[in-house]
Amino acid sequence: MIAIIDYNAGNITSVARALQNIGQDFVITDDTKKLDAASRVIFPGVGAAGEAMAYLREKKLDSWLKNYMKTGKPLLGICLGTQIILDYSEENDTACIGLVSGSTKRFPEKLTEEGSLLKIPQMGWNSVKLHRSHPIFENVSPEAEFYFVHSYYPAPSDETAVLGTTDYGMTFCSVLAKGNLVAMQFHPEKSGRPGLQVLQNFCAWSGNVK
| Residue 43 contacts residue 77 (beta carbons within 8 Å) | yes
Of the candidates 79, 96, 173, 203, the residue annotated as catalytic is 79
**Which residue type sits at 40?**
R
For the question of residue 203 being annotated catalytic, the response is no
Active-site residue identified among 96, 134, 150, 187: 187
- Which residue among 91, 134, 173, 189 is the active-site one? 189
User: Does the annotation mark 150 as catalytic?
Assistant: no
Classify residue 118 as exposed, middle or buried by CB count within 10 Å of its CB (0-12, 13-18, 19+).
middle
Contact 180, 74 (CB under 8 A): yes
Cα–Cα distances in Å, from 101 out to 40, 83, 106, 116, 175?
A: 22, 11, 17, 33, 14
Contact 47, 82 (CB under 8 A): no
Question: Which of 153, 169, 167 minimizes the C-alpha distance to 116?
Answer: 169
**Cα 88 from Cα 62, distance rounded (Å):** 13
Say how many Å lie between the first and final Cα of the chain, rounded.
24
Active site residue 134: no
Q: Phi then psi for 114, rounded to 5 degrees?
A: 55, 40
**121 cis-preceded (ω within 30 degrees of 0):** yes
Residue type, position 188, single letter = P
Active site (catalytic) residues: 79, 187, 189
